[in-house]
Amino acid sequence: MSYYKQYAKKCGFGVMTKRTEMGEDETVRYVTLACAHGGKARNRTFNVANPRLTGKTKCKAKINALKSYAKLRLTTVHNIHNHGLSLKKSRFFRCNREVSDSVKRVLDTNDLGGIRMNKSFGSLVVGVGGFENLPFLEKDCCNYIDKARHLRLDAGGASALREYFCRMQYTNYGFFALMDLDDDRRLRNVFWADPCSRAAYQYFGDVVTFNTTYLKNRYGMPFAPFVGVNYHGQSILLGAGLISSKDTLCVVIQDLVAVYG
């Protein structure tokens, strides 16, 4: 894969892993590496008025490798593309963009310090002497920070929280809690509501407000209280959550809808 990526970068096209099969010994038995333009173009959005098609052109360029006698041997090599190649754009292809560990540490530190992403990325550009010297884009930095903003509990913290919620549900009928995990099975969002809050929603749930800037805990998690107003004009708590970032607030809102209907 590393060799094919280097070859593709020098030729001016992107690479993707199209197919992989594992053997009984958990090692790769068969693999197909193809041009990133392979496959059929499809709409990336549901907006018919403003479609955004993927860059697929049904390109057939690919290589196949099959494991034989403990070695991967090339069985197919097809190097003809049905689209133009561009050496100038090679570094922008997804397969060639990588955020190093040292850059990740800088991004984490700046994010915890409240420094905006455009400022952090600007300092990285100045440090290497220009955009053309960076092996990644600002979008890649944003994606990393979004993924890194999860609940970093101490060892056993997630288990302790889950046990607490289970205990509350056992002793307090109607208590609801939901723990949202990311792709790596790490705790990302937490939402809970006690029976009093759920009952109050039935009377004062016509208008619900929330504010994620209320406070942050030691893990940098914004606290999101869901608040209504009773007949006396007083604020009343309808539920609460800890979220990894404002971008995932919709997940917590969906949880609230699931609880109250």
Euclidean distance between CA atoms 225 and 236, whole angstroms? 10
Instruction: Say what the pLDDT of residue 151 is.
Output: 56
Instruction: Kindly indicate the confidence band of residue 208, based on its pLDDT and cuts at 50, 70 and 90.
Output: confident
The number of angstroms, rounded, from the C-alpha of 220 to the middle of its chain's C-alpha atoms is 17
| Number of CB atoms found within 10 A of residue 190's CB | 23
The b-or-e profile of 210-225 (16+ CB within 10 A means b, else e) is: bebeeeeeeeebbebb
What letter would DSSP give residue 216?
B
Top pLDDT among 183 and 233 is at: 233
Q: Find all residues with CB under 8 Å of 92, minimum gap 6, and list them.
A: 137
The model's pTM is 0.48
Residue 134 has pLDDT above 70, yes or no: yes
Stated as kind and residue range, the H or E segment containing 22 is: strand 15-22
Instruction: Kindly indicate the confidence band of residue 260, based on its pLDDT and cuts at 50, 70 and 90.
Output: low
Angle (CA) 79 85 86, round 5°:
140
Q: Find all residues with CB under 8 Å of 4, minimum gap 6, and list them.
A: 15, 33, 63
Euclidean distance between CA atoms 191 and 243, whole angstroms? 8
Angle (CA) 49 51 53, round 5°:
170
Burial class of 61 by CB neighbour count within 10 A (0 to 12, 13 to 18, 19+): buried
**What average pLDDT score do residues 19-24 get?**
85
Instruction: Say what the pLDDT of residue 246 is.
Output: 57
Residue 64 has pLDDT above 90, yes or no: yes
| Contact assessment for residue 35 and residue 92, using Cβ atoms and an 8 Å cutoff | no
**What average pLDDT score do residues 175-189 get?**
76
Instruction: Kindly indicate the confidence band of residue 77, based on its pLDDT and cuts at 50, 70 and 90.
Output: very high
Task: For residue range 92-110, list pLDDT tens digits in order.
Answer: 788 888 888 888 888 888 8
Furthest-apart CA pair in the chain: how many Å?
79
Instruction: Say what the pLDDT of residue 63 is.
Output: 92
- E strand spans, 111-259: 176-181, 187-193, 209-210, 223-229, 235-242
Average pLDDT, the chain: 80
